[in-house]
């Protein structure tokens, strides 16, 4: 199949298809990365939970119950998963870098930087040399740097179906992470026996933000993952009841500190069950990438064959076999002479490819809309940081407080901030 | 400089920068393509103008005045420029294709397909075997396929400053092309001695659409190109007067057919002068690409050096020289121990890179907004084509008529169509 015999327009038609294929192959790698990261996030969430319990126990606020052994096993798990992620990333760093991957690579750099803090953090937890809430915040920062990589993966994906699943995965991971934070916040409050008003507000905020994430997830996920999530939701009453109870506590109305462990176990079972949804989404991603790559490869092969025959035809070797390899639009009966049919067929091929690309683009834009909310919140934070010299954490809290005070969503508050400060 | 000694976060920081550099290098090639295409469009516009005159003369509607010789020379010019474009494209087709170039490559395929029609069209013009307005329409179709490539180039560019100049170039080329169409429409009307009402409306539409294109151009162009355009505008009165005159003609109020040649010459001088603006924009593009590439290369080299020293430091070879290669944010005095300063410096480096990317992104989004209008019009046309089985030309005319009837811009009408039919 000598491609240099193919006329230039058709050569570029093939080059466009090949470029799409490259994009899909690189997307498959990005999806694999997202799946690896979801495993690491899960391991770190478990480790964070037990670190929290261990610190609370060691600081005498909960009975000692062998959390250390469990934690040691979980740390081992997390170290193993992290090693897998790092091996995968080594391969990625060695590969030549496409020009549209700069933001993803930058996010990976930041996540790796954060991951390097793990050994020190673990040492401090083992030595019980930092408060539970500080350990919690540092684990949370590491996890959020990993989620940021998944966000970039979804935002830079060029296939609508795969992007849908990545958006579903990202939102599910976000919801699950907020669940982890709610678990920690609950343990801290219940250990003390009651929640202060700001703690209650934080619990409510976490629950609302979770619900929002899972709603977006449900909008973009496939059947099997949705059914799995429905089963988890149906078993959610105990957690709901304890949430309500937490809201009714006060320094006058305390509950038994031992409820902290019940809450922790209930919530841990729930979060562990969520991991199955992530596995289903990971399978869907692999399936979709594989399918799209196989499809595009086949089309490219068909087209190369078609165009090679066209070249043969043009050089007078095989006059009438040109269109026998493809069925659909090019298969028009030769009515007004081969030349003109040929020309119309090629035009048809180009139109078809252009239309497909435009449809892809429209679909991509509409799926990516789901990522706009987070981008808007990030942008508002950046504006607050620049204008008032806040830290990231303080900027986030200011947005959250404004949302709670005004009965608005974070995204709405972010829009107001951008409208006010957006000229920066 | 052994990069494998550099810790993973910093390796990915470098990989991100390298990915940006690749993007800029590929953008420089795309800009060169846009500049080549602007030369070809200019040559074809001139050829179209004289083909028009030649056909009108040969069909006895204008005095014979040796237009054939001029046309033959112009065809030679266009053939030469086309050969240059094709040589450039051969190089492009041979290069490995980045995954984000599919739409650009597809557009090139379509433009090359259209360019293949030139020899046949020229033969028909030479044989005077097609009407002037049909020849005109066929040249216009070829030119518009070339403009579509420049549009994709602007839309896929990843640098805000370069995108600004590409948007300026694209809009200028669009305005210039509408000028060419107005020149042709004027010749046809004046040859007959008057304009029908639809012809007058078309002339007004072309003038308005031109003004809009040049406004967007003026919004995005640099000083030298703007001054050049101002000089052309100042010499615009004769064309303005003839436009007004054309609007006052009717089958009762005819003008001398010889005015067609005056109109043609005046307008041709104007279009030729516009070519200088395009050259200035081309120079700006080359300068900007070169500058951004040099800057990014230098930063990458600085950073590689910095990080290599970091690696040396980490391995205990050169304890305190780490930050001497870069001045700005990393140059903090070592207050609380080298390790912690180092960590903060790296974090600073990452923040800086992230912020820069976010600013780039915001800027890109705002420049690309200028391309949304055309995308919207294209989308509306596609909807009309799908819904009513119109040809592209018919869809365009329907939009234009609706705009004229409603006193709206094309973009407004497009928005209405999308609102009505957009669910397809």
**Residue-wise pLDDT tens digits, A19-38:** 999 999 999 999 999 999 99
Mean pLDDT of chain A: 85
Give the per-residue pLDDT at B153. Answer: 92
pLDDT at A415 over 80: yes
B18/A99 Cβ within 8 A: no
A15/B99 Cβ within 8 A: no
pLDDT at A246 over 80: yes
Of B9, B375, B420, residue with least CA distance to A111:
B9
- Chain A residues 277-296 with a CB less than 8 Å from chain B: none
B159 touches chain A (CB under 8 A): no
Task: Say which of A19, A109, A350 has its CB closest to residue B12.
Answer: A109
SS (HEC) of chain B: CCHHHCCHHHHHHHHHHHHHHHHHHHHHHHHHHHHHHHHHHHHHHHHHHHHHHHHHHHCCCCCCCCHHHHHHHHHHHHHHHHHHHHHHHHHHHHCCCCHHHHHHHHHHHHHHHHHCCHHHHHHHHHCCCCCHHHHHHHHHHHHHHHHHHHHHHHHHCCCHHHHHHHHHHHHHHHHHHHHHHHHHHHHHHHHHCCCCHHHHHHHHHHHHHHHHHHHHHHHHCCHHHHHHHHHHHHCCHHHHHHHHHHHHCCCCCCCCCCHHHHHHHHHHHHHHHHHHHHHHHHHHHHHHHHHHHHHHHHHHHHHHHHHHHHHHHHCCCCCCCCCCCCCCCCCCCCCCCHHHHHHHHHHHHHHHHHHHHHHHHHHHHHHHHHHHHHHHHHHHHHHHHHHHCCCHHHHHHHHHHHHHHHCCCHHHHHHHHHHHHCCC
B338 touches chain A (CB under 8 A): no
pLDDT at A173 over 80: yes
- Chain A residues 47-86 with a CB less than 8 Å from chain B: 86
A103/B357 Cβ within 8 A: yes
Q: Which candidate in B17, B84, B90, B97 is best for mutational testing of the A interface (most A CBs within 10 A)?
A: B97
Give the per-residue pLDDT at B99. Answer: 73
- Chain B residues 375-404 with a CB less than 8 Å from chain A: 378-379, 382
| Structure confidence by residue, pLDDT tens digits, A337-395 | 445 666 777 778 888 888 888 888 888 888 888 888 888 888 888 888 888 888 877 88
Give the per-residue pLDDT at A179. Answer: 95
Identify the band that residue B324 occupies on the pLDDT scale cut at 50, 70 and 90: very low
B158/A100 Cβ within 8 A: yes
pLDDT at A46 over 90: yes
Q: What is the complex's ipTM, to 2 decimals?
A: 0.83
Give the per-residue pLDDT at B39. Answer: 96
| Structure confidence by residue, pLDDT tens digits, B16-25 | 999 999 999 9
Percentage of chain A lying above the pLDDT 90 cut: 49
Q: Which candidate in A17, A19, A96, A389 is best for mutational testing of the B interface (most B CBs within 10 A)?
A: A19
B93/A8 Cβ within 8 A: yes
| Structure confidence by residue, pLDDT tens digits, B215-227 | 999 999 999 999 9
Percentage of chain B lying above the pLDDT 70 cut: 88
B379/A8 Cβ within 8 A: no
| Structure confidence by residue, pLDDT tens digits, A304-352 | 777 776 666 665 544 333 333 333 333 333 334 445 666 777 778 888 8
Give the per-residue pLDDT at A95. Answer: 77
Give the per-residue pLDDT at B61. Answer: 61
Give the per-residue pLDDT at A333. Answer: 37
| Structure confidence by residue, pLDDT tens digits, B139-173 | 999 999 999 999 999 988 889 999 999 999 999 99
Q: Which residue has the higher pLDDT, A316 or A80?
A: A80
Q: Which residue has the higher pLDDT, A370 or A43?
A: A43
Give the per-residue pLDDT at B330. Answer: 35
Residues in chain A with CB shorter than 8 Å from the CB of B7 are: 112, 116
Task: Say which of B9, B97, B109 has its CB closest to residue A9.
Answer: B109
Task: Say which of A8, A89, A346 has its CB closest to residue B89.
Answer: A8
Q: Which residue has the tokens 């989004």?
A: B365
Contact A57, A343 (CB under 8 A): no
Give the per-residue pLDDT at A3. Answer: 59
Give the per-residue pLDDT at A327. Answer: 30
B16/A106 Cβ within 8 A: yes
Residues in chain A with CB shorter than 8 Å from the CB of B389 are: none
B357/A106 Cβ within 8 A: yes
Identify the band that residue A420 occupies on the pLDDT scale cut at 50, 70 and 90: confident
Identify the band that residue A10 occupies on the pLDDT scale cut at 50, 70 and 90: confident
Identify the band that residue A107 occupies on the pLDDT scale cut at 50, 70 and 90: very high
- Chain A residues 31-50 with a CB less than 8 Å from chain B: none
> What is the mean predicted confidence (pLDDT) over A205-233?
93
- What are the Cα distances from residue A48, in Å, to A148, A183, A264? 18, 10, 12
B15 touches chain A (CB under 8 A): yes
Q: Hey, what are B422's tokens? A: 């957009």
Give the per-residue pLDDT at A281. Answer: 95
Of A138, A145, A135, A157, residue with least CA distance to A41:
A145
Helical H segments across A315-409, by residue range: 338-388, 392-406
For the ranges A83-97, B140-154, B231-245, the lowest mean pLDDT is seen at: A83-97
Given CA atoms A10, A12, A13, A19 in this order, what sign does their dihedral have? positive
B9/A113 Cβ within 8 A: yes
Identify the band that residue A120 occupies on the pLDDT scale cut at 50, 70 and 90: very high
Give the per-residue pLDDT at B1. Answer: 44
| CA distance linking residue B17 with residue B22, whole number of Å | 9
> What is the mean predicted confidence (pLDDT) over B298-317?
72
Task: Say which of A7, A19, A93 has its CB closest to residue B15.
Answer: A93
Task: Say which of B12, B102, B378 has its CB closest to residue A108.
Answer: B12
B5 touches chain A (CB under 8 A): no
């Amino acid at each position: 199949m000598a491609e240099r015999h193919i006329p230039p327009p058709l050569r570029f038609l093939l080059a466009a298809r090949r470029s799409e294929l490259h994009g899909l192959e690189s997307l498959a790698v990005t999806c694999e990365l997202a799946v690896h990261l979801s495993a690491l996030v899960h391991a770190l969430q478990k480790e964070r939970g037990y670190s929290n319990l261990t610190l609370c126990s060691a600081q005498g606020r909960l009975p000692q119950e062998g959390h250390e052994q469990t934690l040691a096993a979980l740390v081992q798990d997390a170290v193993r998963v992290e090693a897998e992620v790092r091996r995968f990333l080594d391969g990625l760093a060695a590969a030549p870098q496409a020009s549209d991957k700069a933001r993803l690579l930058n996010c990976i750099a930041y996540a790796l930087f954060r991951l390097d803090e793990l050994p020190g953090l673990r040492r401090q937890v083992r030595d019980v040399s930092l408060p539970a809430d500080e350990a919690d915040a540092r684990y949370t920062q590491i996890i959020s740097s990993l989620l940021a990589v998944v966000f970039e993966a979804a935002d830079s994906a060029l296939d609508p179906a795969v992007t849908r699943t990545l958006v579903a995965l990202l939102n599910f991971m976000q919801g699950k992470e907020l669940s982890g934070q709610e678990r920690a916040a609950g343990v801290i409050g219940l250990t003390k026996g009651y929640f202060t008003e700001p703690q209650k507000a934080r619990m409510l905020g976490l629950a609302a933000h979770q619900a929002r994430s899972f709603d977006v997830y449900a909008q973009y996920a496939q059947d099997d993952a949705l059914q799995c999530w429905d089963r988890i939701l149906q078993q959610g009453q105990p957690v709901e009841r304890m949430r309500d109870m937490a809201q009714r506590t006060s320094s006058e109305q305390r509950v038994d500190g031992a409820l902290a462990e019940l809450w922790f176990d209930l919530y841990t079972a729930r979060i562990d069950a969520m991991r199955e949804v992530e596995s289903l989404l990971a399978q869907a991603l692999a399936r979709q990438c594989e399918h799209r790559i196989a499809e595009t490869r086949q089309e490219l092969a068909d087209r190369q064959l078609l165009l090679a025959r066209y070249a043969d035809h043009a050089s007078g070797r095989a006059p009438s076999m040109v269109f026998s390899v493809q069925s659909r639009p090019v298969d028009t009966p030769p009515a007004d002479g081969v030349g003109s049919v040929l020309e119309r067929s090629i035009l048809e091929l180009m139109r078809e490819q252009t239309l497909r690309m435009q449809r892809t683009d429209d679909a991509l834009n509409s799926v990516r809309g789901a990522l706009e909310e987070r981008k808007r919140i990030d942008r508002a934070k950046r504006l607050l940081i620049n204008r008032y010299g806040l830290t990231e954490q303080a900027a986030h809290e200011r947005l959250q407080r404004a949302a709670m005070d005004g009965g608005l969503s974070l995204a709405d508050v972010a829009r107001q901030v951008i409208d006010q400060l957006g000229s920066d």
